[in-house]
Structures are given as structure tokens and as C-alpha cells.
Structure 1
Amino acid sequence: MRVEIWSDIACPWCYVGKARFEKALAAFPHRDDVEVVHRSFELDPGRAKDDVQPVLAMLGKKYGMSEAQAQAGEDNLGAQAAAEGLEYRTRGRDTGNTFDLHRLLHFAKERGRQDELIQILYRANFAEERSLFTEGAERVVELAVEAGLEAAAVREVLADPSRHADEVRADEREAAELGATGVPFFVLDRKYGVSGAQPAEVFTQALGQAWGERSPLKLIDEGGAEACGPDGCAVPQH
């Protein structure tokens, strides 16, 4: 069975949702027969490559909230990440264009290192003090090498903006065709869709249903699950 996960490195709920899904997958009896594929979804595809903003400023601009309100939302999100065993920096993070990261994830898929790379990129963006967006290509090369990729090959991909660009755009078109308006968005064997960072129990249910049934794609949405969309990410207030 194949599980496709549309996500963006800049999406905090994708970071949390991946952990919740993996918790369900670890307990799934057929987990060794499940292939997980990460697909591309840019939250802000029009953002210039050199447009890097502090997260709190971005939240204030998108939601019209005060810095204190934005910080409270980040603190709450950090608590939810911690509940899943994830580190999350609630202060000092920034955000930027993720297109090159998506291109590199497609390259990593060819080399069988996609899941390793996406987890390292999430960690770098949400847990580490060093910026994923301001240090230049060599920072990304360093992280890709940690994921098991060759530095020279990674530099070649990053230097050529056409490499894997078509695959990124194809993923984004397909997400739209499937009705995904935000991420994370999970598609299980093209039978069921799960939208948002749902509890692990919802993923457990979806895995079982997708394994045992043959039917058109159905959306499993418990309602109110946090997700990120083109206008930004839901900010928890309590």
C-alpha cells in the first residue's frame, strides 16, 4: 500500500502531522508493506527566493494579530509538538521560499533517501537555531549529506533550477486535482484522504480502511484539525 503525503517544510502542522502519522504506522500490522512517498506543496509559491521573514512578523501580517498573540500561538504549537516528542523553537525562527528544498526532496527520492531528508529539513527549520533560509546553499548541502546524499550531486541539483522543477509542479497540480487546499494532506492507496494534523487514532482508522477496502478517494476529516494553506497556518490560541 502506498501513502502519499503532501506537505511543505515551512508548515508546522506538517511537522506535527508526520509524527502523528508515524505513530499510527508503527502500530499498523502491515507497516512493512506500506510505502510512504512525500509530495510537494508550497504554501507560498510566489515568494521570492531572497524573501526571508521572521515567523512572528509573517503571522502578524497574515492574520492581523499582535506580536503577543502570534507568540502565544507559537508557544501553543510548541507544546503540541512536544507532546509528539518533537523539538520546536518558539522564538527566533524565520521562513522563506521552499521550492529548492522540494526539488531536492525529489532528488532524494531517486536515491532512496527522501524520508531521511525531509525529517532532517523539518528538524533544521523547527528545532535548530541556525536558519534554513539565510545561510545559503551550503547549509542545505550540509543537511543533505547528513541524510546520506553526496555533496557534489546535491550542489549540482541546487545550481540548476530546472532539475526536478517539473516534478514539484506536477505534485502541486495533482494536489489541486485531489481537492487539497492545505497541508498536510495524506492520500492512502488512492482510496482515502486525511486532511490536517489529525490525531494518531484517525490515521490508524484510515490505514485499516485503506488496507481492507477498494473504493474511490474519500476524505476523512474529523473537523477542526490544524493545517496550513496558501493564506498561512492555523494558529492555536489555547
Structure 2
Amino acid sequence: MRVEIWGDVVCPWCYVGKARFEKGLAAFDHRDRVEVVYRSYELDAERPRGETSSVIDVLAKVYGCTREEAQAKEERVAAGARGDGLPYLTEGRDHGNTFDVHRLLHLAKARGRQRELLDVVYRTNFAEQRSVFDHEVLAELAVEAGLDGAEARAVLADEQAYAADVRADEREAAELGARGVPFFVVDRRFGLSGGQPPELFTEVLQKAWQSRPAEGADTAQARG
């Protein structure tokens, strides 16, 4: 059984949602029969590559509020993340175009290290004051995740490397009706979005397992 998760590495609820899904998966009896695939989704695709701003400034602009109000929003999200055991810094973080990060995640997928790279990218973005929009930092994270540093740098230097894979993921998200992330598709028959409680993920996994179609039967499109 396959679970596909669309998300963006700058999305705090994707960070939280991944952790909650993994808790839900751990409680699922057939977890060893579940393949988890992470898909690309950009929250700020129009932002030029290489241009970064502070997270607080971005939030203030998006929500049309003051920096103080934006800071308060971040503090509420941070409290939720910490409640799930996740480290979260509310200051000193930046925001930018994530296309290159997603391209590198596709390299990691091809090398069987996708989850490992995603984990270190999330940790770096939300819990450290290192920028995941810096190619050298990304290359270092790739090595930390078990990838070859030279290959990672070559992918980052080639703007076309894995670009088609990122765009294909994004088109598929739109076709499946994803209006935001995180977006979870279970066995191409069940869909849910947001940082849901772990128990709900376990419930959906069990439902999908129990209602699996007969071998060779067509599966329906995921529904929201």
C-alpha cells in the first residue's frame, strides 16, 4: 500500500503533519507493508530563486498584518509543533523559493534517501539558523542524509536536473484537487489534508487496508 504526501519544506504544518503521520503509521499493524513517497509542492513558486526574506516579514505581507501580529502567529504554530516534540525557532529564519530543494529531494528519492534528506531539511529550516536556500548548505545536508556531495552540487548547479519531476508532482497535486498542503493520498483511494491527529491517520490506513480492491482491480482517484 502506498501513501503519497505532498508538501513544502517551508510549510510548518507539513513539518508537523509528517511527524503526526509517522506516529499514526507506527500504530498501524501493517506498517511494514506501507510505502511512503514524498511529493513536491511549492507554496511560493513565484518568488525568484535566490531571493529570501525573513519569515515574519513574509507572514505580515501574506496576512496583511503587523510584524507583531505575524510574530504572534508564529508563536502559536511553534507551540503546536513543540507539543508534538518538534524543535521550532520563531526568529532568525528566512523564507524563499523552494524549487531547488525539491529538485534535490528528487535526487534523494532516486538514491533511496528521500526521507533522510527531508528530515534534515525540515530540522535545519525550522530548528536551526542555517538557510536551506543556500546551495552550499543544501549540499552539506545532502551529505548528512547519505548522498554524494559532488552529485548533489552538480544537481543544484544544473537548473534542469529533476525540474520535470518537480513540475510533474505539482501538476498531479492540482489534478487530485489539492488546495493546500500537507496533502495525503492513501492507496490512491483516500485523501486528507492538514496536520491531522495521529489517530486519524491510523484510522484511514486501516480503512484503506481493509477495503483494498481485488488484485488487478482498478483503483479510484483519491478524494479530498
- What is the CA–CA distance in structure 2 between the aligned matches of 1:130 and 1:106, rounded to whole Å? 21
Aligned to 1:209: 207
Match of 2:216 in 1: none
Aligned positions of 1:160-175 closer than 5 A: 160-175=158-173
Give the corresponding residue for 1:123.
123
* 2:144 counterpart of 1:146: yes
Q: Which residue of 2 aligns with 1:56?
A: 56
Asked if the contact 1:51/1:97 (under 8 Å) is kept, the reply is yes
CA distance in 1, matches of 2:132, 2:100: 12
**Matches of residues 21-32 of structure 1 in structure 2 within 5 Å?**
21-32=21-32
Q: Distance in 2 between matches of 1:70 and 1:86?
A: 20
Deviation at 1:156, TM superposition (A): 0.9
8 Å Cα contact 2:143-2:149 kept in structure 1 = yes
Residue equivalent to 2:104 = 104
Instruction: Say whether the 8 Å CA contact 2:139–2:149 is kept in structure 1.
Output: yes
Q: Please tell me the residue identity of whatever aligns with 2:18.
A: K
1:236 paired residue number: none
| Aligned residue type for 1:5 | I
- Secondary structure of the residue aligned to 2:4 is strand
How far residue 48 of structure 1 moved from its aligned partner, in angstroms, is 0.2
Structure 2, unmatched stretches of 5+, are: 214-218
Letter in 2 for 1:168: V
CA deviation vs aligned residue, 1:90-147 (integer Å, no higher than 9, x gap): 11211001001100111101100000000110001000022222xx311111000000
Aligned equivalents of 2:88, 2:221: Cα separation in 1:
33
Question: How far apart in 2 are the matches of 1:211 and 1:101?
Answer: 33
- Alignment map for 1:1-238 (pairs within 5 Å): 1-133=1-133, 136-213=134-211, 214=213, 216-217=220-221, 219=223
Q: Distance between the aligned counterparts of 2:84 and 2:38, measured in 1?
A: 20
- The amino acid that maps onto 1:17 is G
CA distance in 2, matches of 1:218, 1:96: 30
Is the contact made by 1:195 and 1:219 (CA closer than 8 Å) also made in structure 2? no
Shift of 1:40: 0.4
Kindly provide the CA deviation profile for residues 170-223 of structure 1, in whole angstroms up to 9, marking residues without a partner as x. 000000000001100000010100111111121111111111114634546xxx
CA distance in structure 1 between the aligned counterparts of 2:141 and 2:222, rounded to whole angstroms: 36
In structure 1, the residue corresponding to 2:46 is in which secondary structure?
Answer: coil
Tell me whether 206-215 or 163-172 shows the greater mean CA deviation. 206-215
**What are the ranges of 5 or more consecutive residues in structure 1 without an aligned counterpart?**
221-238
Q: Is the 8 A contact 1:193 1:217 kept in 2?
A: no
Report if the CA contact (8 A) 1:74-1:90 is conserved. Answer: yes
CA deviation string 1:53-91 (max 9, x = no partner): 111111111111111111111111111101111000011
2:38 counterpart SS class: strand
Distance 1:18 1:81 in 2: 11
The code of the aligned residue for 1:188 comes to V
One-letter identity of the residue aligned with 1:216:
A
Check conservation: 1:2, 1:188, Cα contact below 8 A.
Answer: yes
Length-normalised TM-score, structure 2: 0.94
SS in structure 1 of the partner of residue 86 of structure 2:
coil
Q: Alpha carbon RMSD of aligned pairs, Å?
A: 1.1
User: Which stretches of structure 1, 4 residues or more, deviate above 2 A after TM superposition?
Assistant: 214-220
Say how many residue pairs are matched: 218
Alpha-carbon distance in structure 1 between the residues aligned to 2:96 and 2:67: 19
Letter in 2 for 1:152: A
